[in-house]
Structure 1
Amino acid sequence: MKAIRYSQYGGPEVLDYLDLPDPIPAPNEALIAVRCASVIPGDWKVRSGKLHEMFPIDLPTIPGRDGAGVVVATGESCDWANIGDELCFVSEHVEPGSYAELIARPREMTIPKPQNINFAEAAAMMHAGVCAWIGLIENAGISFGQNVLIHAGAGAIGGMAIQIASSLGCNVTTTCSAANSDYVRELGARHVVPYDREEFRDQVKKQDIVFDLIGGIVHQNSCRVLRAGGTLVWLIAEPFDDVSSEYDIHCKQAIIHDRRDTMERLSQQVTAGILKPQVSRLLPLTLAAEAHKIVEDGSNTRGRIILEIGDGA
């Protein structure tokens, strides 16, 4: 099979496009011909070695956290999948990932692909949607009528978070560049603070929930815009000083997991047309290094970059 692999930590140039042996599914696994894989910030951070203590990987390795494809073979005792099934899947950073023509996955790491979206959108749904769901539903427990501030609303996770909060009747405010203001409004944001023109801490007050995808000074300023007793939920981002106690608020880290029931709930919302995964651009697998460069330098500001593999989207 064709795949992307790296044998040492470093810049995008360490990513090699090469032929590797086809994986053999374990007895309870399905072998999936990958059609699309998403490129997430964690991919380049792991590749660079920035997260080596958190994700101790064995080199060489194939990157890629999620994807979507078609079952082409099954293990001898695999009774949950059939050849031709269209599946979405996840993989851990510490195991061979989705930047490959083939991947073997157990049932608990897959869900059926929603039929109303294509393979690119299905790949974009997985990690981004799960992060947003865990942050807002499982950690913040958002509910109708709450004031919710979502940082980086034009990004893949932020965009899904806006849609989730909006669908539940929350009053959604988001930060993004001025160029993306109309885009995030289309996703469901009622109020937009363009960070390149205004300081959100001067424009936003008395929020019930803040979902912080940035960290650093943004995290600290977010504490100031919450009401007393409000909740700040954050994902791994830039380091920050926890000042939550000074403002009488709750501060929670969203620990990302791959539980199948969460993936299924997310998929149900997509199938119902409530949520729409956002794809920024499509690139062939051969340009994985270029995709990493784009994500690493911050120039991809809307949705997910998707690698097309095999027959693509």
Structure 2
Amino acid sequence: MMKAAQITHYKQAIPAITQVPIPSIGPHDVLVKVVTASINPIDLKTQAGGLKMLLTYRMPLTLGSDLAGIVVKTGAQVTRFKVGAAVYGRVQKKRIGTFAEYIAVTQNDLALKPKKLSFAEAAALPLVSLTSYQALHDILRLQPGQKVLIQGGAGGIGTIAIQIAKMLGAYVATTASPKNFDLVRDLGADQVIDYHTTPFQSVLQDYDAVFDTRGGQTLRDAFQIVKPGGQIVSISDVPTGRFARTYGLPLWKQLVLQFATRRVTALAKRTQATYTFLFMRPDGQQLATLTPLFENGTLKPIIDRVVPFDDLSTALRYARAGHATGKIIIQIATDQEMAGRL
């Protein structure tokens, strides 16, 4: 048996840490002893039932999307990892559950943990780095000298996205609170806007791209700053009908999403901009290509705090408040528990 943080229904405010069976593994899976996990906005949305249009989960549901840990068992057809390997990764959306002592993960979702990083540092990276890279590199295809706005520069996504955008040679504007100005500038931001006092659309213009992490009115305002032919990628608004068709959702869901995003679709047409909703994909191989950048310090994790597993409910409340700088890490295995494994 193992400890796992589960909800029995959506909108359950506090997950219960309970005893459940250690998961079995398939031929392409590895069983990972989770050392650390991180809290991400998608975990809060899942808990609140905000992803029911895209994903349906059976209850009880163990929360948690990314991790760092140790492989303790391998499936018969696993070739990428051996028992004892230190790994990190973002698990498949239909197989979440990293807020637990063990998890079964397909080998393709994992990469070897950067040797120079602690388990806490490694757990801060998979989801946010893959999301940022897929937005800025794969979709926006940022080129040297292009201008990009990254919303929420001091958040978990923003702190990594700024670094990746600078690595790609872009000019980066971001929004932040004054207390975080020095941090985001140190990460590479060229222009920092106090979102408490200054609407970003009043000071920015002719931008090539926007990476939206807020959705809603903030996303709609972004269309005021992109040039014709510019691009906006959002990870926080409602998926478009086009996305729903690509994702293979039922026709009624496609129609609902098409109606819900009609304003954004109209804005994109009027401003001659391209709008894309990103539902990031877990990808161990892509994470492995980023690992050397974590090893050599080109990209570095920003951690707000490390919280013991038993205090997960406190950490989730803090995450929901929206004031974290960087990532909130959950310490699941203690130093004593890992002493005989590392």
**Shorter-chain-normalised TM-score: which range?**
over 0.9
Give secondary structure in 2 for the equivalent of 1:244. helix
Note the residue ranges of structure 2 that are not aligned, 5 or more in a row: 239-259
**Cα distance, 1:172 vs structure 2:** 0.8
Q: Could you report, residue by residue, the CA deviation over 1:113-150 in whole angstroms, capped at 9, with x for unpaired residues?
A: 11111111111100011111111001100011111111
1: CA distance, partners of 2:334 / 2:73? 17
Spell out, residue by residue over 1:145-197, the C-alpha distance to the aligned partner (whole angstroms, 9 max, x if none).
Answer: 11111111111111111000111221111011122111110111011001012
Counterparts of 1:271-310 in structure 2, within 5 Å, are 271-300=295-324, 302-310=325-333
Query: How far off its partner does 1:231 sit?
Result: 1.2
Aligned partner of 2:293 among 248, 252, 269: 269
Cα offset, 1:297, TM superposition: 2.3
Inter-partner Cα distance in structure 1 for 2:50 and 2:228: 35
1:249 is matched with 273
- Could you list the per-position Cα deviations for residues 86-138 of structure 1 after superposition, in whole angstroms to 9, with x for gaps in the alignment? 00122234324100111122210111111111111111100011111111001
Match in the other structure for 1:187 = 187
Displacement of 1:76 = 3.8
On the 8 A contact 1:285/1:308 being kept in 2, the answer is yes
Residues 143-292 of structure 1: pairs in structure 2 closer than 5 A: 143-237=143-237, 241-242=263-264, 243-292=267-316
Q: Secondary structure at the match of 1:137?
A: helix
CA distance in 2, matches of 1:249, 1:49: 31
State the alpha-carbon separation in 2 of the partners of residues 296 and 134 from structure 1: 25
Q: Deviations over 1:46-80 (max 9, x none)?
A: 11222223210000111110100011222344333
The whole-number CA distance in structure 2 between the counterparts of 1:135 and 1:174 is 16
1:211-253, Cα deviation, whole Å (9 max, x unpaired): 1111122112211111222111111337762112222222222
How well do the aligned residues superpose, as a CA RMSD in angstroms?
Answer: 1.8
| Aligned counterpart, 1:67 | 67
Query: How much does 1:286 deviate?
Result: 1.1
Answer yes or no: is the 8 Å Cα contact 1:89–1:105 preserved in 2. no
In 1, Cα distance between the equivalents of 2:10 and 2:291?
34
**Which AA in structure 1 matches 2:168?**
L
> Is the contact made by 1:232 and 1:251 (CA closer than 8 Å) also made in structure 2?
yes
Deviations 1:260-309 (Å, cap 9, x if unpaired)? 33222222321232111221111111111112211122232x11111001
Secondary structure in structure 2 of the residue aligned to 1:56: coil
* Segment drifting more, 249-258 vs 131-140: 249-258
**What residue identity is the alignment partner of 1:217?**
Q
Q: What letter matches 2:329 in structure 1?
A: I
Give the structure-1-normalised TM-score.
0.94
- Do the aligned residues in 1 keep the contact of 2:110 with 2:283 (CA within 8 Å)? no
Gap regions ≥5 residues in structure 1: none
For the 8 Å contact 2:89–2:284, the answer to whether it is kept is no
Aligned to 2:6: 5
Q: With the length of structure 2 as denominator, give the TM-score of the two structures.
A: 0.86
Structure 2 CA distance for aligned equivalents of residues 247 and 77 of structure 1: 50
Q: Percent identity?
A: 30
- d(CA) in 2 for partners of 1:236 and 1:173? 19
Within 1, Cα distance between the matches of 2:147 and 2:78?
Answer: 46
| Kept after mapping to 1: 8 A contact 2:31/2:74 | yes
How far residue 42 of structure 1 moved from its aligned partner, in angstroms, is 1.2
Secondary structure of residue in 2 paired with 1:12: coil
The ranges of structure 1 where at least 4 consecutive aligned residues each deviate by more than 6 angstroms after the TM superposition are none
Aligned residues between the structures: 311
Q: Secondary structure at the match of 2:227?
A: strand
Q: How does 1:92-171 map to 2 (within 5 A)?
A: 92-171=92-171
Question: More displaced, 230-239 or 32-41?
Answer: 230-239
